[in-house]
Amino acid sequence: MKLRTLIVFMILMVGANCPGMADDTIPPSAELDFGKYAKMSRPELFQSLKEADAARLAMSEQVIRALSEDQPAQSRLAAIVIAGLFRLDHTAPSLAQMIDFDDPGVETDSAARMLYGYEPVSMALYNIRNPAIPWLIENLARSDNEKIRRRSAETMLNILNAAPAKARLQESIDAQAAAKNATAVARLKAALPLFNEAK
């Protein structure tokens, strides 16, 4: 199955299995229709929001399963794209763990490549934004892998810019020092040059 077709299929499949994505609820990626929701009673509005949250959670669970290492690379790439497009923050821990994911076998003109280039996980985490930050910091605290560390730092910088990213990193250094986790402190301090080099 071509990757473009697979992505469309997965979006349709996820939507079909999420009852909260019906037309009368708030889909995960939609802008709020304030005119529509202003006409709802408070219980109706709360129910619609509750169903939308349930839909996002159900979609996240399916995407997380598709991200598993035992799945075909193209399925994983499609799941990465969906996680970013729908900004599924529950997928951030799984995505961060695979930030070094590369699939040279995927055609360069595929839908996923056109959307996300050659670092699809970084772009998905960038789209998820702030909920991804703790998991990117976790990568820096736990991993010695150069690619994981570089991509984690770059993604943090793209989300927060240099000063806020360095501040969050320093907060983590202080927290790990208070917890007497010397190894994590050393790894986090070693990441500081990656942030200092940012313009």
One DSSP character per residue, 155-188 reads HHHHHH-HHHHHHHHHHHHHHHHHTT-HHHHHHH
Cα separation, 123 vs 93, whole angstroms: 14
Q: What is the pLDDT of residue 24?
A: 37
Q: Indicate if 59 and 112 belong to the same structural domain.
A: yes
Q: Indicate if 28 and 113 belong to the same structural domain.
A: yes
Q: Indicate if 184 and 86 belong to the same structural domain.
A: no
Counted domains in the chain: 2
Q: Indicate if 14 and 63 belong to the same structural domain.
A: yes
Asked if residue 27 lies in contact with residue 21, where contact means CB atoms within 8 angstroms, the answer is yes
Which of 128, 147, 182 is the endpoint of a domain? 128
pLDDT band at 23 (very low <50, low <70, confident <90, very high): very low
Q: Indicate if 151 and 183 belong to the same structural domain.
A: yes
Q: Indicate if 140 and 190 belong to the same structural domain.
A: yes
Q: Indicate if 152 and 176 belong to the same structural domain.
A: yes
pLDDT tens sequence across 29-42: 444 455 665 677 77
Mean pLDDT along residues 2-6: 45
Report whether pLDDT(52) > 80: no
pLDDT band at 2 (very low <50, low <70, confident <90, very high): very low
Q: Indicate if 68 and 8 belong to the same structural domain.
A: yes
* Both tokens assigned to 112: 């996923």
Q: What is the pLDDT of residue 11?
A: 46
Q: Indicate if 117 and 139 belong to the same structural domain.
A: no
Q: Calculate the CA 146 to chain-centre distance.
A: 20
Domain span at 118: 1-91+100-128
User: If you average pLDDT over every residue of the chain, what do you get?
Assistant: 79
Q: Indicate if 2 and 78 belong to the same structural domain.
A: yes
Q: Indicate if 109 and 159 belong to the same structural domain.
A: no
Which region among 43-52, 162-171, 190-199 has the lowest average model confidence (pLDDT)?
43-52
Q: Indicate if 10 and 35 belong to the same structural domain.
A: yes
Cα separation, 37 vs 96, whole angstroms: 35
pLDDT tens sequence across 68-123: 989 888 788 888 988 998 899 999 999 999 999 986 565 555 555 555 556 889 99
